[in-house]
């Protein structure tokens, strides 16, 4: 048995040989498809799969899934159904390797029997949350996604045909040129966003496709046609698994296989069309003219037992129900679980598991290049164009900051207008330089919310294997550079010439470059913060605190030689971009100038003297060295951002696996912790309710017994 921690993309699974499906002829949930397609397909198998939510306090440890067994085959579409909280999304996340970090998974998840790492791009996953760049149109979103993943040898016309056909299949042609929408753009509807999410993942026909409630938010017609498209994808030799809450009867008939869950237990697994027969054999036939999925949920959803029991108790119906021997929903669910474990359907699952696992040792698995098949240069150019369009259309990303920078620059320029070279100008020039290097760079933290949204896109696309970490970081920097240049040079031009700092083109260029690189450092550091914190609010708090520490140790509020040598002087001030940027700005402005003395008749004060003795900065190196250090710090933050993202991919799965083992070891010592075996009746409820039998409703007959 393998023990896994929650987390995405990095857990071990089994993958191996396909082979003909002749050995599965006795499997009632198999279908006849082309043997070559099957050999290249992915048979997904899970054995004794359990997921725990540990509790280290007084509360009990919750079992979200308990000892599940099953398999999914290429060429068939499988539905995971059940009431809310039954474990549908948890099972889907477990199979795709994307469990939350606080969950512990035990058991085996295999693909065709040969162990290997499930890397990024190994599966395609459509999540419940629709995450897009809201400034793009639907056509642009699909086009850029295709360019990021389709092979380089595909011509432009072929790629356009794939894009148009995908939009046509998902019914997106009429709204293809509409903006998706964000916080200040009214965009497409929720149903259109859901169909777009599906379209993006079926674009490249992945071997394994997982969908978490793909029909949520869709009308009945859209849900039917979207499911029909998924069925066609499966019939192309792909393995499609979807959790679905409550499909219509038309949608239900499109599914080949069905897993019905309740309370983390398997109620039924087998062919979807045989589920009605199973319920009838168990004593709970589906009434005529009722949607089978509605019937299944009524038999397995015990969340409202106590409410119904209270209502029925007030009318005196409980004693009558008990005298008639009627069952509560909880009792119905337990009876179904027991019935399934002793049924031919459970035996079929066991036989099918053995057949699939034996195939893995008979024939090698024909692996395909998973994830993106586009070249690095193509990915870089596509990401750069996409990010540039997003930044230019999103007013809050850079344009709003540019406006604020210009307004603040006008204010600073007028406050320090024609600062001069008298004695009082020494303090004024120092204050103005400190404000520009400190606060104006600090204002770049305002772009953090937009970057958080872009990081959500990155995490989703990275998990699905669209592109790598390095190309994303480089493309983001290149696309943002024109905005940063405009921001820095416009602000510097206003403040530099209104305050009348030291004249000269090169002095102005240095001041603009100093502000440009300082802003770049702040943005790079915010990227690191965004990769470490879980949400926007914590990111702003941590980012503001970090910049505050940089300002306190930059040498403006207290000269660098007077800082405590332990920690603050060494090493903080040496890795503080603001300290290097500030002393470079002072050298650029003051070296070569002479200031009036405090007492008339005294010799004039040279700028070099002021920098060294009053401001406390060293003159042992030039201003260009200071600028080079700020640039190096900016590059280091970008590299640190890259390292953090790679560590999340490589180290975090290992840490979560160790956490899972330690958690299970800790829980095994608790007397209250008992692993519920797969053959026992799980989670007996303390709720008591008596309801009328679902098969004895007046005027309704079971379709199983009607002719």
The 8-class DSSP code of residue 614 comes to I
Residue 205: predicted pLDDT: 85
Distance, CA of 162 to CA of 146 (rounded, Å)? 9
Higher pLDDT, 416 or 34: 416
The SS3 call for residue 80 is: strand
Mean pLDDT of the region 20-25? 38
Residue 464: predicted pLDDT: 86
The tens digit of pLDDT for each residue in 217-235 reads 888 898 999 999 999 999 9
Is 366 within 8 Å of 42 (Cβ atoms)? no
The alpha carbon dihedral of 480, 481, 482, 483 has a sign of: positive
Lowest-confidence segment of 1-10, 448-457, 494-503, 636-645 by average pLDDT: 1-10
The 8-class DSSP code of residue 154 comes to S
Contact partners, residue 371, CB within 8 Å, separation at least 6: 119, 120, 121, 122, 149, 464, 465, 466
Q: How many CA atoms lie within 13 A of 35 on its CB side?
A: 9
Confidence band for 16, pLDDT divided at 50, 70 and 90: very low
Q: Are strands 76-81 and 3-8 parallel, antiparallel or unpaired?
A: unpaired
Distance, CA of 411 to CA of 409 (rounded, Å)? 5
The alpha carbon dihedral of 564, 566, 570, 573 has a sign of: negative
Mean pLDDT of the region 488-501? 94
User: Considering only CA atoms, which of 123, 206, 117, 200 is closest in space to residue 649?
Assistant: 117
Burial (Cβ within 10 Å: 0-12, 13-18, ≥19) of residue 445 = buried
Name the β-bridge partners of 570: 566
Q: Are strands 124-126 and 44-53 parallel, antiparallel or unpaired?
A: unpaired
Residue 662: predicted pLDDT: 80
Orientation of helix 156-169 relative to helix 138-149, angle to 10°: 130
In this prediction, what percent of the chain has a pLDDT beyond 90?
Answer: 46
Residue 218: alpha-carbon gap to chain centroid: 22
Residue 164: predicted pLDDT: 94
Distance, CA of 361 to CA of 18 (rounded, Å)? 9
Confidence band for 707, pLDDT divided at 50, 70 and 90: very low
Confidence band for 10, pLDDT divided at 50, 70 and 90: very low
The tens digit of pLDDT for each residue in 576-624 reads 999 999 999 999 999 999 998 888 888 999 999 999 998 889 999 999 9
pLDDT at 157 over 80: yes
Name the β-bridge partners of 108: 47
Is 399 within 8 Å of 176 (Cβ atoms)? no
Residue 28: predicted pLDDT: 41
Confidence band for 59, pLDDT divided at 50, 70 and 90: low
Distance, CA of 632 to CA of 643 (rounded, Å)? 16
Residue 705: predicted pLDDT: 39
pLDDT at 481 over 80: yes
In this structure, what token pair is assigned to residue 121?
A: 């791009």
Is 29 within 8 Å of 672 (Cβ atoms)? no
The tens digit of pLDDT for each residue in 273-313 reads 999 999 999 888 988 888 899 889 888 876 655 555 554 55
Residue 375: predicted pLDDT: 86
pLDDT at 122 over 80: no
Residue 58: predicted pLDDT: 63
The tens digit of pLDDT for each residue in 523-562 reads 999 999 988 887 888 988 999 899 999 999 999 889 999 9
Residue 511: predicted pLDDT: 94
DSSP codes joined into one string, 625-657: HHHHHHHHHHHHHHHHHHHHHHHHHHHHHHHHH
Domains of the chain: residue spans and CATH: 3-123+206-362 (3.40.50.300), 376-621 (no CATH)
Lowest-confidence segment of 47-56, 142-151, 297-306, 325-334 by average pLDDT: 297-306
Mean pLDDT of the region 68-73? 92
Most confident of 241-245, 299-303, 351-355: 241-245
The tens digit of pLDDT for each residue in 650-690 reads 888 788 778 877 877 777 776 655 544 443 334 333 333 33
Q: Which helix (H) or strand (E) holds 8?
A: strand 3-8
Confidence band for 20, pLDDT divided at 50, 70 and 90: very low
Distance, CA of 3 to CA of 657 (rounded, Å)? 7
Mean pLDDT of the region 369-394? 87
Is 205 within 8 Å of 174 (Cβ atoms)? no
Lowest-confidence segment of 14-23, 206-215, 490-499 by average pLDDT: 14-23
Mean pLDDT of the region 311-322? 44
Residue 579: alpha-carbon gap to chain centroid: 37
The SS3 call for residue 34 is: coil
How many other C-beta atoms are found inside a 10 Å radius of the C-beta of residue 649?
A: 17
Distance, CA of 208 to CA of 77 (rounded, Å)? 11
Confidence band for 4, pLDDT divided at 50, 70 and 90: low
DSSP codes joined into one string, 685-706: ---------TT--TT---TTT-
The 8-class DSSP code of residue 620 comes to S
Length of the chain measured in residues? 707
Q: What is the mean pLDDT of the chain?
A: 82
Mean pLDDT of the region 251-264? 93
User: Considering only CA atoms, which of 441, 435, 371, 378 is closest in space to residue 152?
Assistant: 378
pLDDT at 243 over 60: yes
In this prediction, what percent of the chain has a pLDDT beyond 70?
Answer: 82
End-to-end C-alpha distance for the chain, whole angstroms: 48
The SS3 call for residue 48 is: strand
Residue 312: predicted pLDDT: 54
Residue 359: predicted pLDDT: 72
Beta strands in 112-231 (DSSP E): 115-117, 124-126, 208-212
342 phi, psi to nearest 5 deg: -105, 10
Lowest-confidence segment of 87-91, 361-365, 433-437 by average pLDDT: 361-365
Lowest-confidence segment of 448-452, 488-492, 701-705 by average pLDDT: 701-705
Q: Are strands 257-262 and 265-271 parallel, antiparallel or unpaired?
A: antiparallel
CA distances in angstroms from 587 to 411, 490, 583, listed in the order given? 24, 21, 6
* Structure-token match 């290992």, residue found: 654
pLDDT at 15 over 60: no
User: Considering only CA atoms, which of 460, 381, 474 is closest in space to residue 152?
Assistant: 381
Q: Which helix (H) or strand (E) holds 559?
A: none
* Structure-token match 């933290």, residue found: 445
Residue 84: predicted pLDDT: 86
The SS3 call for residue 136 is: coil
Residue 656: predicted pLDDT: 78
Q: Which helix (H) or strand (E) holds 330?
A: helix 329-341
């Amino acid at each position: 048995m393998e023990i896994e921690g929650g987390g995405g993309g990095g857990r071990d699974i089994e993958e191996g040989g396909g082979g003909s499906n002749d050995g599965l002829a006795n499997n009632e949930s198999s279908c006849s498809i082309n043997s070559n397609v099957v050999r290249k397909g992915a048979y997904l198998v899970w054995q004794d799969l359990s997921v725990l939510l540990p509790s280290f306090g007084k509360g009990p440890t919750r079992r979200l899934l308990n000892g599940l067994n099953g398999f999914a085959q290429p060429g068939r579409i499988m539905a995971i159904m059940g009431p809310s909280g039954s474990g549908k999304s948890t099972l889907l996340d477990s199979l795709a390797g994307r469990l939350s970090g606080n969950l512990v998974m035990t058991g085996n998840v295999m693909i065709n029997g040969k162990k290997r790492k499930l890397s990024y791009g190994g599966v395609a996953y459509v999540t419940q949350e629709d995450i897009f760049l809201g400034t793009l149109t639907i056509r642009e979103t699909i086009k850029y996604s295709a360019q990021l993943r389709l092979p380089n040898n595909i011509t432009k016309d072929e790629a356009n045909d794939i894009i148009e056909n995908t939009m046509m299949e998902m019914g997106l042609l009429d709204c293809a040129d509409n903006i998706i929408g964000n916080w200040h753009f009214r965009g497409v509807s929720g149903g259109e966003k859901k169909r777009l999410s599906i379209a993006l993942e079926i674009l490249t026909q992945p071997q394994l496709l997982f969908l978490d409630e793909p029909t949520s938010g869709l009308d009945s017609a859209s849900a039917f046609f979207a499911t029909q498209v998924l069925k066609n994808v499966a019939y192309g030799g792909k393995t499609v698994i979807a959790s679905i809450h409550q499909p219509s009867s038309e949608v239900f008939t499109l599914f080949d296989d069905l897993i019905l869950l309740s309370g983390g237990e398997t109620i039924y697994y087998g062919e979807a069309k045989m589920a009605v027969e199973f319920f009838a054999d168990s004593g709970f036939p589906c009434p005529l003219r009722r949607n089978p999925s509605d019937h299944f949920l009524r038999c397995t959803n015990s969340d409202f037992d106590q409410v119904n029991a209270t209502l029925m108790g007030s009318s005196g119906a409980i004693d009558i129900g008990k005298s008639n021997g009627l069952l509560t929903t909880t009792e119905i669910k337990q009876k179904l679980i027991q019935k399934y474990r002793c049924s031919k359907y459970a035996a079929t699952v066991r036989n099918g598991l053995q057949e699939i696992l034996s195939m893995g040792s008979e024939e090698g698995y024909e692996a395909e290049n998973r994830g993106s098949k586009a070249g690095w240069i193509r990915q870089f150019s596509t990401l750069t164009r996409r990010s540039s369009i997003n930044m230019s259309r999103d007013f809050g990303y850079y344009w709003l900051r540019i406006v604020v920078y210009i307004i603040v620059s006008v204010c600073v320029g007028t406050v320090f207008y024609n600062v001069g070279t008298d004695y009082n100008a020494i303090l004024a020039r120092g204050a103005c330089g400190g404000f520009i290097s400190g606060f104006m760079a600090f204002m770049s933290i305002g772009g953090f919310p937009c970057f958080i949204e872009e990081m959500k896109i990155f995490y989703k696309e990275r998990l699905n294997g669209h592109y790598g970490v390095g190309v994303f970081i480089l493309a983001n920097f290149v696309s943002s550079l024109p905005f940063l240049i405009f921001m820095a040079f416009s602000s510097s031009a206003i403040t530099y010439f209104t305050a009348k700092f030291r004249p000269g083109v090169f002095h102005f260029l240095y001041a603009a470059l100093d502000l440009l690189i300082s802003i770049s450092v702040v943005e790079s550091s915010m990227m690191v913060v965004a990769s470490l914190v879980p949400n926007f609010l914590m990111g702003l708090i941590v980012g503001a605190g970090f910049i505050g520490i940089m300002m306190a140790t930059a040498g403006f509020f207290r000269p660098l030689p007077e800082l405590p040598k332990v920690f603050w002087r060494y090493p903080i001030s040496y890795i503080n971009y603001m300290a290097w940027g500030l002393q470079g700005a002072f050298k650029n402005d003051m070296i070569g100038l002479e200031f009036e003395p405090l007492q008339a008749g005294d010799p004039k004060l040279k700028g070099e003297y002021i920098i060294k003795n009053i401001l406390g900065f060293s003159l042992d190196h030039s201003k260009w060295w200071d600028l080079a250090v700020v640039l190096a710090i900016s590059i280091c933050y970008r590299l640190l951002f890259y390292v953090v993202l790679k560590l999340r991919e490589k180290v975090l799965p290992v840490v979560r696996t160790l956490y899972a083992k330690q958690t299970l070891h800790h829980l095994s010592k608790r007397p209250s912790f008992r692993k519920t075996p797969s053959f026992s009746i799980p989670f007996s409820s303390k709720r008591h309710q008596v309801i009328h039998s679902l098969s004895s409703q007046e005027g309704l007959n079971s379709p199983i017994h009607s002719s």
